[in-house]
Amino acid sequence: MAIPYSLISIVDRPVPYAEALEWQYSLQKQRRAAVALDTLLLLEHAPVITLGRGSVPERDLLCSAEERGVSGIEIYESDRGGEITYHAPGQIVGYPILELDEESGERDLHGYLRRLEQVIIDTIAELGLEGYRKPGLTGVWVNENKIAAIGIKVSRWVTMHGFALNVDLDLTPMRTLIVPCGISTLGVTSLKEQGIAVGRHEVEPVLLRKFESVFARYRFD
């Protein structure tokens, strides 16, 4: 039987990273205590560079504090998996707060990552773009460029953090201020750059349907 969960979609403003992180901690704590349903946060961030647990700042951070200050880009050390990335308006960020179910075999973190990738692959396929995985790497790729980054944290089998899909954001900071995901030999791209002229509000309904399909025991009410 499908389990309903609440959806919070922030549409009125870019959300500072620290604020969204507090929402996640609160929701994860409530979910672990069984006083909240599984939740999917969908939002856009104010411009921010985040450093995951695998980050090597001296290698992958290409800008000084002064340069970041001029551009208004924050920097934040995150407890998610993965390395360095950039968030800004024009990118859909999804934070699933889900309790992974033991009986249905969901307590497989590699499997969970692959399902998040599948949500993105299925979403952009419906929009007319072929995405794929790269062996040994996490995320979704198009024409040798990453279009979606993924990094998670799981506590007592309740997830937080998630994915970032590049829709129509300005990729310049991602290309000039950091080495995205610590991979210098591959680039980044967006739906817009690949010729898919859509905005966030056109992509979200597709993304929600694909999330519901891949994570089959959940449904939107």
| Mean predicted lDDT score pLDDT of the chain | 88
Q: What is the DSSP letter of 64?
A: -
What's 187's domain CATH number? 3.30.930.10
pLDDT in tens, 61-72: 887 767 666 577
Q: Is the pLDDT of residue 11 over 80?
A: no
Percentage of the chain lying above the pLDDT 90 cut: 65
Query: What's the pLDDT score for residue 5?
Result: 56
What pLDDT does 117 receive? 98
Which runs of consecutive H residues, i.e. helices, occur in the chain?
17-32, 57-60, 65-71, 109-126, 172-176, 200-214
Q: Give residue-wise pLDDT tens across range 162-179.
A: 999 999 999 999 998 888
Confidence at residue 60, expressed as pLDDT on a 0 to 100 scale: 85
Amino acid at 103: E
At 1, the pLDDT band (50, 70, 90 cuts) reads very low
Question: Alpha-carbon distance 132 to 139, whole Å?
Answer: 9
Is 117 within 8 Å of 139 (Cβ atoms)?
yes
For 86-122, how does the pLDDT look when each residue is reduced to its tens digit (9 = 90+)?
Answer: 999 999 999 999 999 887 778 899 999 999 999 999 9
> By residue range, what is the domain housing residue 35?
3-220
Residues catalogued as catalytic: 181
Secondary structure (DSSP) of 182-193 = G-SSSEE--TTT
- 179 phi and psi, to 5 degrees? -100, 100
Q: pTM for the whole thing?
A: 0.92
Kindly report the backbone phi and psi dihedral angles of residue 9, in degrees, each rounded to the nearest multiple of 5, phi listed first: -115, 115
pLDDT computed for residue 180 by the predictor: 81
Half-sphere exposure of 11 (CA within 13 A, CB side): 9
Specify the number of domains making up the chain.
1
Averaged pLDDT for residues 8-23: 82
173: its two tokens: 């900071």
Name residue 124's amino acid. Answer: I
- In the numeric block, the tokens 């898919």 are attached to 196
pLDDT value of residue 218: 59
Q: Residue 221: pLDDT above 60?
A: no
Residue 148: pLDDT over 90: yes
Question: Is residue 199's pLDDT more than 70?
Answer: yes
14, pLDDT greater than 80: yes
**Residues 40-49, mean pLDDT to the nearest whole number:** 93
Give the 3-state secondary structure of residue 180: helix
User: Which neighbouring-strand residues pair with 48?
Assistant: 74, 87
Q: How far apart are CA 28 and CA 93, in angstroms?
A: 17
Q: Which of 8-22, 182-196, 204-218 has the lowest mean pLDDT?
A: 8-22
